[in-house]
Structure 1
Amino acid sequence: MSAPAPSVSAVEAEPRGGHFVIRGAEIVGVGVADLAVKDGRIAAIGSVPAGPPELRRAGRWIVPAAIDSHVHLSFLPGGRRLLDAGVAAVVDLAAPLSGLAEREAPPELVVLPSGPMITARGGYPTRDWGSDGYGLEVESAAAAEQAVDTLADAGAKVIKVPVTDAPALPPATLRALVTRAHARGLKVAAHALLDRHARVAAEAGADVLAHAPVEPLQARTVEAWAGRAVISTLSAFGGAAGENLTKLRAAGMTVLYGTDLGNTQIAAISGEEIDLLLEAGLDGQAILTAMTTAPAQYWGLDQATPPGPGVLRVGGVASFMIVAADPRLTPGTLAEPEAVFVAGVRR
C-alpha cells in the first residue's frame, strides 16, 4: 500500500524551489535514494547529508519530466499548461516562419521547432488547416535546399516535410532536401500517413515518421524504416496506427511519445495516448522510455549543456515528476503527477 499523500498544510510548508532534498522516494532506474536540487540543477543523487530543506516522499516514485515529440504550439498554445502537467520539452512540428523568431512559449519550456513544412506548390498543408504560413512552398530541388538553409538559419532544430499524393515534392527533390538537412545537422520528420507515402519517405532518407501511419503497412515498408524512429500520435488518428506502431517497433524503430497537440486538445500528458500505447504492445517501462530517455537521446537533449529534460543526471536540469505509483507497472500514473518540478521550481 502506498503512503498517504501529505496534508495541504504540509505541502504549503514544503520548499518549492532553491536548494532542497527529496527523501524516501524511489528514483526510477536508480532505486530509493535522495535527490538534491540546487539552483535549478540536480545537485546530487544518492545519500545526501542533512541540512537543506526536505520533502519526504516515501512510497512515491520520481521520473524525468516528459517530452512530447509532436505538438503545434502556434495552432493551439498551451505552454504553461504543459509545464504544469509535467511536459518540460516539445518538438513543435509545423508553425509559421515568424514563430522561429517570435517565441510564444514560456522560457521554461524547451522547444525544438521545425518552422513551416517544406512542401510543393499548393501542397499539404497550404490548402487546408495550414494555409496561414504552415507550409513553405518550393518548386525545385535547389529551392528545397535553400528552404532548408532558410529554416536552419532562422533557428529550426528539425525539418518537417509532407509526403502525400500530388501536389507533392518528387522523390529527387525529397532526397536533395534530406541531404541538405543532414548537412546542416538536422533530422527530417516525414508526415506520411499511407503505406506508399511512408515508403517514399524512407527511400528519400527521412529520419522519423511524424505519425504512426493510418493505413496498414506492407512488410517491405516496415523493413525500409527499420532502425529509424516513429512518433506515436495514436490518439490523434484511428485506422491501423496502433497495429503499425507494433510492427515498426518490432522492426527496431525507436518509439517517441507524441500527441499532435493542436490536432488534439489536451495540453498535458495524455492518458489516452498511454492507453493506446499499451494496446500497441508497449509495457510501462517502454512507455516511460518513449516519453523521457528515448526522445532526450534522439533529439540530443541529453547532450545539451546542461543536460535537458528527459533524463535525471547530476548537473542536469532538475525537471521531474513525483507520481503515486510505479509507472513501470501502472503507466497511467504518469498522466496524473502529484508534483511537477521544472528547472528546480515546483509548478
Structure 2
Amino acid sequence: MCLHDHDATPTLPPSALSRRNVLAGAAVLAGVTASGVAMAGAAHAADDGASGQAGSVRPSTAAPLVIEGGSVVDPLTGHVVEDGVVVLRDGRVLAVGSRDTTRYAVASVGAAARRIDASGRWVVPGLVDVHVHANALADARAIVRAGATSVRSGSSTFYQDVAMRSLPGWAPGLAPRMRAAGLFVSPQLGDSVLADPDLAPLAALPGGVTSTTDIAHVTKVNVSRGVDVVKTRANPRAGLAEQDPTELVYDREQLSAVVRAASGRPVLCHAYSEEGIDGAVRAGVRSIEHGVFVGDATISEMARRDTHFTPTLAAITGMIGSSNPVLDARGREYAPILMAAVREAHERGVTIVAGTDSFGTDVDPIGSEVRLLVEAGLSHLEALRAATTYAARLLGWSREAGRLVAGAFADVVVVDANPLEVADALEQVRVVIAQGAVVREA
C-alpha cells in the first residue's frame, strides 16, 4: 500500500525548470563546472603533451590524427591489416586500411595531422565497458584512460552520469561516451531520495520502495530526467559482507513494473540468485549483471530472448584475498561457479558482454575483464568482441563503436600484444584516443 501522495499511474514531473535544477546540482557534484572541466582539461593537456593555454576548456573537436604502422584488428571479422593506417578527423574515422588505400585520406589531413607511430603494436577500436559507476569527472577520466572509450552507467547517486553524458560533445577526451542510468531503482534508495524533489515522498516509506506503484514512480522519474537506460536489482550486493546476495528483493512482478515504466529504455538488472535472474529475464530486462547462480532453464530463456550477460568477473574475482573473511570466502566460492556459467551460457548462444563494475577512481581496466573471459573459456576473438562489437550493439552504437571503419567514432586503443592470441593483450595499453583526442600515450 502506498503511504504517500501519488496515484497508481504517476505522470512524469511536469516542470522543465525542475529538471534543469536537478541536473545542474548533479553537474556540480560530478565536477562538471566550468572550473572543474578547465582543471581536468589542463591535466589532460599535460598528459598528452598538447599545447595551449593551461586551464582552457578543450575545443569541440580535436585535431586530425594518423595512426600508422600497427596491425589493425577488426573484431567483427577477425581480419588484421598489417602495417595499417587509421585516419581520424572531426571526431570520426576518416579511413582505415593499408598505406596504399588510405593515402588520399592521409593527404587530405595534411600537415595539420598529428602522427602516432604504432609500429610493432596492435590497433583496436576503443573498448566498451557496459557496467561502470562514475559519480565524478575524476571517475570518468580514470575509466577512459584505462581504455574504455564508451560505457554504460550502472547507476549514479545523484544523476551525475546524466550530467557528464554531454562532455564528449564539447570537451573531447575528458570522459567516455556514456549511456546514463541515473538512480538505482532499488528497495532502499538511501540519500538518493535527496537528489530529486519528485522522490521526496518516498523518504517516509517504512519498508522502502517495494510496491509496483512506487517502483514505477522511481523509474518514471529517472526517465523524466533523461536517462538512456534503467538499472534495477533482484538481489542485494555481494560486495557487502552484511548482505545476502541470494536474498530476493524484487520478484518478476516488481521487475516487470520497472520494464513497463522504462518506456522502451533498456533495463539492466543486478541479480545473483537463480530465482532473481529468472524473474528478471522473464520480466524482459535487456541484460543480467553478475548472474552467478544462473540456471539451465534460464540460460535457455536468455538465449531465446537475446538477453545479454554481463558477468563482471573482475568484480567477483576481486573479492578473493579481501581482508574481510566473508568477502574472501564469497569470492572463492562464486568465481568458479560464475566462470562455468559464462562458459555454458556462451556455448548455448547467450551474448556475453564485458563490464567491470568499476566504482569511482578504483578502476578495473576493461582489458582485465577480457582476460578473465578468455580464462572462462571464450576464444580470444569472442572475448574481444565482448568489449567491442557485442557491447556496442547492446548500447545502441553498433554502427559507430566497436570497429574501426569509415564514419565510426574516433576511438582507438593501441596495445603491445596481439589480442587475438594473448589473453592479457588489452591490459598492455600504450595509447588511448577518445573522441579524436589523445587521452593516454605511454
| 1:66-215 pair list within 5 angstroms | 66-74=127-135, 77-99=138-160, 102-103=163-164, 107=168, 108-120=175-187, 122=188, 126=189, 131-133=190-192, 138-164=209-235, 168-181=249-262, 184-211=263-290, 213-215=291-293
1:22, CA displacement in angstroms? Answer: 2.5
Match of 1:246 in 2: 343
Could you list the runs of 5+ residues in structure 2 that have no partner in the other structure?
1-47, 51-61, 169-174, 200-207, 236-245, 317-330
With over 3 angstroms needed to count, the CA separation of the structure-2 counterparts of 1:23 and 1:169, relative to structure 1, is: closer
Give, in whole Å, the separation in 2 of the partners of 1:152 and 1:214. 29
1:129-176 per-residue CA deviation (whole Å, 9 max, x = no partner) reads xx3328975343333333322211212111111113777334323223
TM-score under structure 2 normalisation?
A: 0.65
Q: Is the 8 A contact 1:65 1:292 kept in 2?
A: yes
Deviates more, 1:229-238 or 1:164-173: 164-173
State the SS of the aligned residue for 1:119.
coil
1:274-319 Cα shifts (integer Å, max 9, x gaps): 332122101211111011111111110235xxx2x42322122211
How big is each residue's C-alpha offset from its partner over 1:221-252, in whole Å with a ceiling of 9 and x where there is no partner? 22222231011211212311111111221221
Matching residue of 1:64? 125
- Name the structure 2 match of 1:223: 300
Q: What amino acid sits opposite 2:67 in the alignment? A: I
Q: CA deviation at 1:55?
A: 3.5
Q: Name the CA distance, whole Å, in 2 between partners of 1:58 and 1:290.
A: 26
From the superposition, tell whether residues 214 and 284 of structure 1 become closer, same or farther in structure 2 (CA, over 3 Å): same
Q: CA RMSD in A?
A: 2.9
Q: Which amino acid aligns with 2:176?
A: L
Corresponding position of 2:85 = 34
Amino acid at match of 2:212: A
Partners of 2:95 and 2:302 lie apart in 1 by 40
Show the counterpart of 2:312: 233
Instruction: Give the Cα–Cα distance (whole angstroms) in 2 for the partners of residues 285 and 105 of structure 1.
Output: 32
Q: Encode CA deviations 1:31-58: one digit per residue, 9 max, x unaligned.
A: 2332211222211123222643543433
Rounded Cα–Cα distance in structure 2 between residues aligned with 1:79 and 1:338: 19
The one-letter amino acid of 1:41's match is R
Q: Distance in 2 between matches of 1:263 and 1:196?
A: 30
CA contact (8 A) 1:21 1:35 kept: yes
> What letter matches 1:301 in structure 2?
W
Partners of 1:245 and 1:251 lie apart in 2 by 10
Give the letter for the 1:294 counterpart: Y
**Structure 1 position 69, deviation (Å):** 0.9
Deviation at 1:75, TM superposition (A): 8.3
d(CA) in 1 for partners of 2:130, 2:161:
17
Contact 1:175 1:204 in 2 (8 A): yes
- In the alignment, the residues of structure 2 paired with residue 179 and residue 268 of structure 1 have an alpha-carbon distance, to the nearest angstrom, of 34
Alpha-carbon spacing, 1:85–1:218, altered in 2? closer, same or farther (3 Å): closer
Q: CA deviation at 1:210?
A: 1.3
Provide closer, same or farther for how the CA distance between residues 143 and 261 of structure 1 changes in structure 2, counting only shifts above 3 A: same
- The percentage of aligned residue pairs carrying the same residue is 26
AA partner of residue 111 (structure 1): M
8 Å Cα contact 2:288-2:308 kept in structure 1: yes
* Alpha-carbon offset, residue 270 of structure 1: 4.4
SS in 2 for 1:160: strand
Does the 8 A contact of 1:242 with 1:280 survive in 2?
yes
Secondary structure in 2 matching 1:244:
helix
For the 8 Å contact 1:163–1:191, the answer to whether it is kept is: yes
- Do the aligned residues in 2 keep the contact of 1:73 with 1:262 (CA within 8 Å)? yes
Q: Deviation digits for residues 240-273 of structure 1, max 9, x if unmatched?
A: 11111112212211111111102993353343x3
Query: CA separation in 2, counterparts of 1:171 and 1:320?
Result: 40
8 Å CA contact retained: 1:319, 1:344 = yes
Q: Rg larger in 1 or in 2?
A: 2
Shift of 1:76: 10
Give the helix-richer structure, 1 or 2: 2
Amino acid corresponding to residue 180 of structure 1 in structure 2:
A
> CA offsets, 1:82-126, max 9 Å, x none?
222211111111212442554399544211121222233x4xxx4
What residue ranges of structure 1 are gaps of 5+ in the alignment?
Answer: 1-10
2:116 maps to a residue whose letter is L
Q: Say how many residue pairs are matched.
A: 317
> 2:388 is matched with which residue: 288, 292, 295?
292
Taking the aligned partners of 2:151 and 2:345, their CA distance within structure 1 comes to 23
1:26 Cα deviation after fit:
2.0
